[in-house]
Structure 1
Amino acid sequence: MIHATAIVEDGARIDPTVSIGAYSVIGPHVTIGAGTTVGPHCVIEGHTTIGCGNRIFQFSSLGAVPQDKKYAGEPCELVIGDRNTIREFCTFNIGSPGGGGITRIGDDNWIMAYVHLAHDCLVGNHTIFANNSQLAGHVEVGDWAILGGFTVAHQFIRIGAHAMTAMCSLLFADQPPFVMSQGQPAQARSMNYEGLRRRGFSPARIAAVKAMHKALYRDNLTLDQARARIGELASDTPEAAPDVQLMLDFLSGVSPQRGIVR
């Protein structure tokens, strides 16, 4: 399952069911779980842990040191979960001491070509990153988020669960859950209603998301006033209580310096 031209350095822990293509290089601190396939001409280095059932296409670079001048060789990590698709020319860096030391990608993500995940990024589950999506350091992306092609995210921002960006969006602020954004800089355009329907959200839950959008973007409320209005939705629509809590938890962490996309 390992091509004769591939280099697997001593110390690497590779499950017997892993496939490694021609001319790929696997470093000594790498762990790769069962059923993962690594295409030709990949470099996987650093303290990198890759779970089971991933498909890594050719020419990807995973686990290289962060693009951070302060980095001084500390044993930081890249951790990738299970069943992810990582297409051609992706670059995922390890974490940095100033950001927790770990870059982490969850499970069942669909990551297209030329995607860059910088140091200390945290990506959830079931996300889609279209071609050339770029995350600077310390960016967090929630479950089920979709990033359009050429989306660029400034360091230290967050993209909430079920959010979506249009092609060529430029994010300088946090994008709350469910929000769809577009532009340079990105502005909130609507909520991701069609995506929610496809994921089985009931009409009552979607109605609650519409009410959250109205409080955040249509009623000229301050962020604190919008949070209070959104909090009332949990009692009005108990079925949507987890969605309301998701939004409230996200808004409670908004930085005054960054704010949210408007």
Structure 2
Amino acid sequence: MGVQIHPTAIIAPGAELDDDVSVGPYSIIGEHVRIAEGTRVGPHCVIDGRTTIGTNNHFYRFCSIGGIPQDKKYQGEPTHLEIGAGNTFREYVTVNLGTQQDVGTTRLGDDNWIMAYVHIAHDCQVGNHVVIANSVQLAGHIHIGDWAILGGLSAVHQFVRIGAHAMIGGTSSVRQDVPPYMIGAGDPFRPVGINSEGLGRRGFTPADVLALKEAYKILYRRKLNVEQAIDALGELQSTQPGEAQAIQALLDFLAESSRGIVRP
């Protein structure tokens, strides 16, 4: 099946659309855009900038993808947006290009579910299988790990990192890093435990979950600073080799945190 372009759509010279791409009524595709096969662009969408889109994505009506950063330092530099495969972007989602003040590229991985009115700002790095609910606002330079879930109407401060498998409750204000596996909510966001239900659904063993619950207690219940908690988590890891990989992800995150982690 060839490219399907509605007569009212505008495709700029230079844009590259693979076979089986469809573009709906009144949508606009810019000259530096590359779209891989199977992707569907709904009506009234604008896809612009140096944007590369993988296979089998679906952009619902009125999405704005690849717009220039909302950053006064941006002066038209040739920055990028990269989107993987199998993502869903619901109505009025906005995703901006990167800036030269960071890696220069905003990235989204595969199989992400981005609900209506979400804003993903410049230089954000979103992993795979992430769910971002309605009206979540991501400031610039945010990193989100695989399988994270962000509840509706939440806002995330620039440069914050949210770890894999974390779950952010709706209407939260996230101002510091959220370690992997945590669940919580609030303004400011406060962790309340481990995302046990989500971990079980994703193949973590009961032993993994128990080890991570103990890791939560080390991190948040024993009145340790982060350096002391890292040492204690290393000791926990040495006593539970079967769960070492799950604990290591937490250790790696803590070692790389620059904004400090959220606290209960």
Q: TM-score, normalised by structure 1?
A: 0.98
Deviation at 1:190, TM superposition (A): 1.2
Partner of 2:110: 107
Deviates more, 1:92-101 or 1:229-238: 229-238
- Where 1:78 maps in the other structure, the secondary structure is strand
Partner of 2:260: 259
Partner of 1:4: 7
Partner of 1:16: 19
- Where 2:5 maps in the other structure, the secondary structure is coil
Answering whether residue 134 of structure 2 is matched by residue 131 of structure 1, we say yes
The 5-angstrom pairing of residues 22-101 of structure 1 reads 22-101=25-104
Structure 2 distance, partners of 1:233, 1:32, is: 47
Which residue identity does 1:225 align to in structure 2? Q
Q: Show CA shifts across 1:108-148 (max 9, x none).
A: 10110001000000000000000011110000000000000
Q: Show CA shifts across 1:136-185 (max 9, x none).
A: 00000000000000110000110000001001000110000001121111
The 5-angstrom pairing of residues 159-170 of structure 1 reads 159-170=162-173
**What is the aligned-residue RMSD (CA, Å)?**
0.7
Deviation at 1:218, TM superposition (A): 0.8
Answering whether residue 240 of structure 2 is matched by residue 237 of structure 1, we say yes
Q: Show CA shifts across 1:53-91 (max 9, x none).
A: 111111000000000001000010010000001111000
Partner of 1:194: 197
Ranges in structure 2 where 5+ consecutive residues have no aligned partner:
none
Q: Show CA shifts across 1:223-255 (max 9, x none).
A: 111111111222222221111111111000112
Deviation at 1:207, TM superposition (A): 0.9
Deviation at 1:222, TM superposition (A): 1.0
Aligned residues: 260
Partner of 2:218: 215
The 5-angstrom pairing of residues 142-181 of structure 1 reads 142-181=145-184
- Percent identical among aligned pairs is 55
Deviates more, 1:13-22 or 1:233-242: 233-242
Deviation at 1:42, TM superposition (A): 0.1
Partner of 1:203: 206
Structure 2 distance, partners of 1:248, 1:182, is: 22
- Where 2:245 maps in the other structure, the secondary structure is helix
Structure 1 distance, partners of 2:234, 2:35, is: 43
Structure 1 distance, partners of 2:142, 2:128, is: 15
Kept in 2: contact 1:141–1:160 (CA 8 A): yes
- Where 2:190 maps in the other structure, the secondary structure is strand
Out of 162, 183, 186, the residue aligned to residue 186 of structure 2 is: 183
Structure 1 distance, partners of 2:129, 2:238, is: 29
Kept in 2: contact 1:211–1:230 (CA 8 A): no
- Where 1:188 maps in the other structure, the secondary structure is strand
Which residue identity does 1:41 align to in structure 2? H
Kept in 2: contact 1:204–1:237 (CA 8 A): no
Structure 2 distance, partners of 1:152, 1:169, is: 6
